[in-house]
Amino acid sequence: MAEAKTKEVVEAAKSKPRPKVKFTAAQIIAKAEEARKELGKRNCQYFIETFVKIEDRDAAELAVPFTLWPNQVMALLSFLNNRLNIVLKARQLGLTWLALAYAVWKLVYQP
């Protein structure tokens, strides 16, 4: 009995005209890319981790995505919350790359 009802529902669904698709795949992809860019505009950390690549001589590829370490996130928050920052730094902390990525974000989205 339930199987007959299921077949009836399936047949009814097949006979109904499907609604026309409002967007093409290309339009959906374009909208998604636009949303990613808008999120990058609002969120500096997202911008850096999504769009910025850095040089890494130890990696298989020369340019790798910039994945922030926890202390870099803290430094980025300091950049965002304070106009002037004084940093005592050592080598190989990625602070120069971070400062450059932050500067690019500011130049692109807050000219």
Angle (nearest 5°) at CA 70 between 64 and 73: 80
Our CA dihedral for 60, 62, 64, 68, rounded to 10 degrees, sits at 110
Compare 70 and 10 and report the one with higher pLDDT. 70
pLDDT at 51 (0 to 100): 92
Cα separation, 38 vs 4, in Å, equals 50
pLDDT at 82 (0 to 100): 95
Which amino acid, one-letter code, is at 27?
Q
pLDDT at 17 (0 to 100): 73
pLDDT at 110 (0 to 100): 84
Q: What is the pLDDT of residues 13-62, one digit of tens each?
A: 677 776 677 888 888 899 999 998 889 899 999 999 999 999 888 888 88
Q: What is the pLDDT of residues 72-105, one digit of tens each?
A: 999 999 999 999 999 888 888 999 999 999 999 9
pTM: 0.72
